[in-house]
Structures are given as structure tokens and as C-alpha cells.
Amino acid sequence: MNFLPLPERFDANEWFIVAGLVCGYAVMIPLRKRFPVTVFILTLFYGMTTAKLMDATIGFTSLNFYDINDSPKYEAMDALLHFLYLPFAYFFVYLYDRWNVRGIYVLPYLIAYSLLGVGLEELGNLAKVFTYQKWRLVYSFTLYLYLQSLLLLYFKWLMKHYRRTKAEPDPSSKI
């Protein structure tokens, strides 16, 4: 019994995933030190969780809005695809922080990054990573805008909490 079967053929969709993973992680790993390890890991966790949640609710259920890769069944490459969302989430908060996006610039940043997500999804669609059943690419923009907004709020909360706990004295040091 093969827990996560490998694809029958290794074609464009698998190469898209492999290339995306190599490129995404090659850029993300050197940039990871911008934030504390906990913030870095929790940001990646957000990216993975939202990808899995969306696929579990609208991709793999009876709703079946789309299939991933060559088969409606869950395969090894489907699992690897979820790891593409980690660098995407990290780059979002990295650029937000690096460019010091504030005030009236937050909404255009959210819109631009959501459009980037739609563009990358369309590239994946062209490579047959996604096979839409009832889903339309235009729906993705709204979904990305919503999820990126939540990620931004989550990131700001993480950084605020990190700074606050970093400033407090360690209670164990009084022992």
C-alpha cells in the first residue's frame, strides 16, 4: 500500500511544483533571519494551514471546486504543493516589513500581492497544477485578499506580542 502515491507521469505540473519549491526556498532561506524564529515558523505555519484548509474545504470535499494535479485523488505531489504556500506567505510579510508599508499604502500592497497570487495561480493553471470544476480564477483574488489581510493582522499581532514578551523580565530569572 502506497500512502501517498507518486504521479503516473512526471509532466508540466510536477515540474512547476519542483521549480517553485526550489526557487521559493532558495530565496526564502537566506531572508529568514529578518524575524525572530518563532515569528518565522508561525508565519510559515499560517501559509501551510490556509492552503490545507482551502483544499480540504473547497477542493477535496463534495463541493469539489477544483482538482490538484493529474488526479482527483490526493498524491505525493499534492502534499508538496502545499509547501509552495510557505514562501508566498513569508515573502508577503517580509516585503511588508522591509518596505515599511503603512497607512494608505497597506490596501494597494494587499491588492498588488493578491494580484501576484492570482498570476502565480494562473501559471500553475497553465501547467495543469489545478483543474477547475466550479472554480473561476477571479474567485481567487477575493480569497487571496481576505487571507492576506488575515495574515497581515496575524503578523502584526505576532510582532507586537514578541516585542512585549521580549521587554518583560524573565520570571525564572528571579529564582
pTM, to two decimals: 0.88
Question: Is residue 52 included in any domain, yes or no?
Answer: yes
Which cell numbers hold the place of 99?
518596505
Question: Is residue 14 included in any domain, yes or no?
Answer: no
Question: Is residue 53 included in any domain, yes or no?
Answer: yes
Question: Is residue 60 included in any domain, yes or no?
Answer: yes
Domain encompassing residue 129: 32-166
Least confident of 77-86, 97-106, 150-159: 77-86
CA 86 – CA 72 distance, rounded (Å) = 23
**pLDDT score recorded for residue 35:** 96
**pLDDT score recorded for residue 19:** 97
Residues 6+ apart with CB under 8 A from 145: 110, 111, 114
Question: Is residue 172 included in any domain, yes or no?
Answer: no
Please give the tally of structural domains in the chain. Answer: 1
CA 86 – CA 106 distance, rounded (Å) = 21
Q: Give the mean pLDDT of 148-153.
A: 98
Q: pLDDT tens-digit profile of 56-93?
A: 777 666 677 887 887 777 788 888 999 999 999 999 99
Which has the higher per-residue pLDDT, 130 or 87? 87
Question: Is residue 27 included in any domain, yes or no?
Answer: no
Least confident of 6-15, 16-25, 89-98, 144-153: 6-15
Least confident of 18-22, 35-39, 54-58, 77-81: 54-58
Least confident of 56-60, 121-125, 142-146: 56-60
Question: Is residue 133 included in any domain, yes or no?
Answer: yes
Using alpha carbons, list the distances in angstroms from residue 136 to 1, 47, 61, 62, 114: 35, 21, 17, 17, 15
Question: Is residue 11 included in any domain, yes or no?
Answer: no
CB 84 within 8 A of CB 148: no
Closest CA to 43 of 140, 141, 157: 157
